[in-house]
Structure formats: structure tokens, C-alpha cells
Amino acid sequence: MADVDAAQHEVVFRVAVIGSVGSRLLDLLKVQDGELSLGSVAGYKPRFLFQVFADDPWANEGSDGARFEEAVPSLDAIVFTDDFAAGCHYVSAAVERIAKTLSPLKLRIPSAIFGGPALAEDWSSLSGAPVLAQVDPKSDDAPSILKALVKALLRSNIRSTPPPPVA
């Protein structure tokens, strides 16, 4: 859940980036040390904290899977990545396990795809929620993903922020 400081008009969102081209996505967004601060949007200063996970977090020793499970309660959004042309395929069984891990409370959090339409279709059918943005990983259009997430996250968090106390 986002950390909102209504007095300072700051909001911090936590985003899981899952898949083999997550680093490329963060490079295109110019994320440094897992953080990205934006200018004022709708009167708030959003800051994003990104955590990158393997395309199958539970493969091998499963350390990424354990990190993902620990992150779930505080997640605000999820971005899946793959690049079929480069041989970086998403793992269908892992996408299913992610859906089960997020169920029932976090399954419908805002999501985006930096990858192919098959991944978007799989996630949409598993989560029951529309994917906010789907961008071809060969393009440099990563900002479209961020814009879609910002719009959805700010809309939901600003509505749920209580008004300031009356003096």
C-alpha cells in the first residue's frame, strides 16, 4: 500500500518488475538505485521504488520467490517483462504462481506489460483485470508504462486520502 504524506503531498509507490528484460525497462525509465522521483502530478510528488525479480522467481534456489512473497503486502503495482525475439520468454507457470501469491487481496493491483501480447493476455485472464499498458520491449516507449501506472495509482490513492483537519 502506498505511503502517503498528505501534509507534504508526497506519495511512495512500490512496484515489482518481473522478467528477463526488467533491467532494460528500468534503464529506459532512468531509474537509479531502484528509485524514480517524478515532478508534481495532480498536486502530489510521486516516488516509485522498483524491485526486480527473475522471470521465474521460484526457480533454482527460489530466493527471488521469497523476496517477492515478502514484498506482496506493500506492492502497489506489477510490471511483467519478456522479449520473445531475444529469446527471453516469460514462464507461464511462474505467472500462474504469481497470481496465486497475490490472491485474493492484491490480484487486481495495477499491472503493465513490457513484452508481447501473449503475456498481456495470460496475465489479464489470470488476474481478471485489464492490463493498463502493453509495450513492445524492442521500442523505447517505457514511459507509456509509467504514465499508465501513475494515472491509475494516483487516482486510487488521492480518492482514498482523507481531507486535512479543519482548523
pLDDT tens digit sequence for 86-106: 666 788 889 999 999 998 888
Please give the Cα distance from 31 to 24 (Å, whole number): 10
What cell was used for 107? 490480484
**The model's pTM:** 0.88
Please give the Cα distance from 12 to 8 (Å, whole number): 12
DSSP single-letter state for residue 32: B
Q: pLDDT, tens digit, for every residue of 15-71?
A: 999 998 999 999 999 999 999 999 987 788 899 999 999 989 999 888 899 999 999
DSSP single-letter state for residue 78: E
List of domains in the chain: 3-159 (3.40.50.300)
